[in-house]
Amino acid sequence: MIIVIKKTTGKNAITNFVNSIGLEYQALVKCDRCIYLITKHSQKFDDAQTKIIKNSEIVIDTFETTNEYQLVDRKTSRICAPKIVVKNHEICSANKFCIFAGPCSVESPELIFDIAKKMSALGVKILRGGTFKSRTSPYGFQGLGLHALKLLHQAAIENNLLSITEILDTRDVEKALDYVDIIQIGTRNMYNYPLIREAAKTGKPLLLKRGFSATYKEFLLAAEYAYLEGNSNIILCERGIKTFEPYTRNTLDITAVPVLQHLSHLPVIIDPSHSSGFSYLVPALARAAVAVGANGMIIEVHTNPSKALSDGEQSVNIETFEKIIKTLSKIAKSLDMEIA
Ligand code: PEP
Ligand code: MN
């Protein structure tokens, strides 16, 4: 059970309440509008205890949860539907399709400043750029690390954009704190709970990518790890899963969007780039993302994809990106949504 407590409740009042009913709890999580007291699964309440809970001045509500993920369960949004706000911008809200765009990797100052300027001119609000790269081959371009982080930061600021990059290692989380607005946890790290927890502790919004072979439940439990650190600013990203089909890099599981939105209150976005592996497929998957009701997409854009140091094959050029935006705007409008 989750007992929802008034946000203003002090430590002593919570302790008194817990002691008055001999409550055993697993976690106490502070959120924007309340405090969640998560009881032990084994905890049972008799009539007297139930009465105390019901009549307590500090209790707002209670939830019975059968799911192992509890804080990210859709039910909890009854009291506190967290909004993701970065530097006064609300992102990935219900009727705004949020675009995260930029190169796979921050390759050079010229590239990131040029793309940032072009993305901003096209109305993009969030600049993506890989700085610490999680490459399958150890011989692949590994990213420019801290140097790239600083470039991404500067390019974003100069063009009035928010920034996002993937962090691979708990030792780099602190660097992200100073230089990016949103931390990305990549597909290979969806099961890396220490990393998720460290990243969540920064309080920055997290873009959590689905592990390429993770079930919905495993995905939501990974998000639960972040929420348990008191960070409710979590965006889920379906980026394609491994199937028996070798033609595409991954298979976009479009069904994941309505399923995850049904199970959880967290926003869900799509990555049409990594899910397909080919730039010619990206426009179609981007259209599908809006049509299926996703809260946004993260897309790889490069000024010269054939020269990209990573993922050039799946990166769209500026011209194609502009066409994608125009088409998505039309689809969004017909669904009473807007592109943001
Ligand atoms: C990326 O977005 O650059 C990336 C490496 O994505 P994924 O973790 O989905 O492969
Ligand atoms: Mn990439």
Q: Please report, for residues 30, 83, 126, 262, 286, the alpha-carbon distance to residue 80 in angstroms, rounded to integers and kept in the order given.
A: 11, 9, 25, 16, 30
Q: Give the ligand whose atoms come closest to the C-alpha of residue 240.
A: 1
| Predicted pLDDT of residue 166 | 98
The ligand minimizing its distance to the Cα of 277 is: 2
Report the atom number in ligand 1 closest to the C-alpha of 212: 9
Q: Is residue 119 helix, strand or coil?
A: helix
Here the tokens at position 189 are: 């790290």
Look-up of token digits 């055993």? 24
Ligand 1 pocket residue status of 108, Cβ below 6 Å: no
Q: What is the DSSP letter of 10?
A: -
Q: What is the pLDDT of residue 322?
A: 98
Q: Which atom of ligand 1 is nearest to the CA of 298?
A: 2
CB 102 less than 6 A from any atom of ligand 1: no
Q: 130 in ligand 1 pocket by Cβ < 6 Å?
A: yes
Bridge partners of 270?
238, 297
At residue 44, the pLDDT reads 85
- Determine the pLDDT at residue 31: 83
Q: Whose CA is nearest to atom 3 of ligand 1?
A: 104
**Which numbered atom of ligand 1 lies nearest the CA of 187?**
8
Alpha helices in 86-231 (DSSP H): 109-121, 145-158, 173-179, 193-201, 216-228
Of 119, 85, 94, 104, nearest to 268 by C-alpha is 94
- The pLDDT of residue 330 is 98
The answer, yes or no, to whether any atom of ligand 1 lies below 6 A from the CB of 296, is: no
* Contacts of residue 212, Cβ cutoff 8 Å, sequence gap at least 6: 187, 239, 240, 241, 242, 250
- pLDDT at position 243 is 98
Largest Cα–Cα separation, the chain:
70
Instruction: State if residue 153 touches ligand 1 by the CB under 6 angstroms criterion.
Output: no
Q: What is the mean pLDDT of each run of 10 residues along the chain (340 residues)?
A: 93 94 89 88 87 94 88 86 89 94 98 98 98 93 97 98 98 94 98 98 97 98 96 96 98 98 97 98 98 98 98 98 98 95
**CA 250 to ligand 1 centroid distance, Å:** 12
Instruction: Please name which ligand lies nearest the alpha carbon of 189.
Output: 1
Give the pair of three-digit tokens for residue 96.
């705004």
Closest atom, ligand 1, to C-alpha of 237: 9
Confirm or reject: Cβ of 208 under 6 Å from ligand 1. no
Taking Cα atoms as reference points, which of 190, 314, 189, 298 lies closest to residue 249? 314
Provide the 8-state DSSP code for 152: H
Give the number of whichever ligand sits closest to the CA of residue 298: 1
Task: Please state the pTM of the whole predicted model.
Answer: 0.95
Which single residue is written with the structure tokens 């088409």? 327
Name every residue whose Cβ is closer than 8 Å to that of residue 331 and which is 6 or more positions away in sequence: 287, 290, 291
Q: Output the CA torsion sign for 101, 104, 106, 107.
A: negative
Query: Tokens at residue 185, please?
Result: 């946890």
Instruction: From 78, 94, 74, 87, select the one nearest 223 (Cα to Cα).
Output: 74
Which of 167, 269, 274 gets mutated to test ligand 1 (max ligand atoms within 8 A of its CB)?
274
CB 60 within 8 A of CB 6: yes
How close is the Cα of 1 to the center of ligand 1, in Å? 35
DSSP string, 174-214: HHHHHH-SEEEE-GGGTT-HHHHHHHHHT---EEEEPPTT-
What per-residue confidence (pLDDT) applies to 32? 78
CA of 14 to the centre of ligand 1 (A): 42
142 lines ligand 1 (CB under 6 A): no
